[in-house]
Amino acid sequence: MRNSRWFLLLVLATLVLLATIWQLLFARKDSLHGNGSDSTQHLQPPAVDPPERAAASRRASSRTANSDDVPLGRAIDIVESLGVSAKRGDADAAFKIYAKLSRCSDYASREVTEQIRAAYRLAGVGDDEIDRTVRRQRDDCQGAEQLVASRGEWLEMAAGQGSPEGMMLYAADPAAILGDGPISELDPERVADYVERSVAFMDGLVNQGDPGAMLSLSIMYGSSELMPHDSVRSVAYRLAAERVAPLEVPTKPIGLAMTGMTASQQEEAHAFAQEIVSRCCGY
């Protein structure tokens, strides 16, 4: 099965979803706490160089929804069958519901463009298979529009119940928690609570030595729209991720990573990176 074109199609569809989710939180625009915010500004793609984004995506994919996490069948049936267990504390059930509803959200909001089709063709997936998958997703998601809007409740439940996958996607999918509207229309108190919980979830994973969470915090502190920027912490978490997972996280030239930082800030970043690594990993 894993060698079939069908499985490859599921994997590629998952990667498209993950890339979309990771792009939702981080942007080139000013933070909400900055000046000159556009009153109609929405969440935008991150100001992150391609290697760093790719590394973050690789680490995210190991902690987030893959084809095995998205249950087969109709979304409304999956919510009915897993909902009771999720509400009784089954984090895996809650995450599976979120994963299914997120797939439906992605289906509803994303057109299968020629560019996406071209990428599938390069992987050996033909248009007929793509069209069959689109039809299956349409059937799976039929009648689940209101459920899709509540996907963040299941994600929050999974994260709060201790699911590492739920924690990673809680921090990476603000639209599920806060809604899809313009930033100017978000409730500042809800945003502050969301940021606080996201950082807490990532800190917990960082303390377990998870380089994906380190990269997430690096990007959040460096370019998130939803929290003040902190260049020292951004660089420190990046350096820590490089030290913890040197084969997976490409080393960023130190001069580039610390552009615009004073000598004192650079020294502080190195010291904090060492503290992070010592706390999580003992070296």
- The pLDDT, as a whole number, for residue 183 is 83
Does the pLDDT of residue 59 top 80, yes or no? no
What is the end-to-end Cα distance of the chain in Å, rounded? 41
Q: How many other β-carbons are positioned within 10 Å of the β-carbon of residue 228?
A: 11
Dihedral of alpha carbons 193, 102, 58, 72, sign = positive
Rg (CA), the chain: 19
Look over the chain and give the mean of its residue pLDDT values, rounded to a whole number.
78
What CA–CA distance (Å, rounded) separates 214 from 281?
13
Strand, helix or coil at 230? coil
Dihedral of alpha carbons 235, 240, 245, 251, sign = positive
Does the pLDDT of residue 22 top 60, yes or no? no
| pLDDT tier, 49 (very low <50, low <70, confident <90, very high otherwise) | very low
| pLDDT tier, 244 (very low <50, low <70, confident <90, very high otherwise) | very high
Q: Poorest-confidence range of 72-86, 96-110, 145-159, 212-226?
A: 96-110
| pLDDT tier, 280 (very low <50, low <70, confident <90, very high otherwise) | very high
pLDDT digits (tens, 9 = 90+) for 169-185: 999 999 999 988 888 88
Neighbour-count burial for 75-95, b at 16+ CB within 10 Å, e otherwise: bbebbeebbeebeeebbbbbb
Please state the pTM of the whole predicted model. 0.72
Does the pLDDT of residue 107 top 50, yes or no? yes
Cβ contacts of residue 131 below 8 Å, gap of 6+?
none
34-54: average pLDDT = 35
Name the residue with higher pLDDT: 183 or 222.
Answer: 222
CA atoms within a 13 Å half-sphere pointing along the CA-CB vector of 138: 9
How do the domains of the chain map onto residue ranges?
5-281
Does the pLDDT of residue 27 top 60, yes or no? no
Does the pLDDT of residue 212 top 90, yes or no? yes
Phi, psi of 26 (to 5 degrees): -120, 140
What CA–CA distance (Å, rounded) separates 156 from 170?
7
Strand, helix or coil at 4? coil
152-156: average pLDDT = 96
151-158: average pLDDT = 96
Strongest mean pLDDT among 111-115, 213-217, 253-257: 213-217
| pLDDT tier, 68 (very low <50, low <70, confident <90, very high otherwise) | low
3-state SS string for 135-202: HHHHHHHCCCHHHHHCHHHHHHHHHHCCCHHHHHHHHHCHHHHHCCCCHHHCCHHHHHHHHHHHHHHH
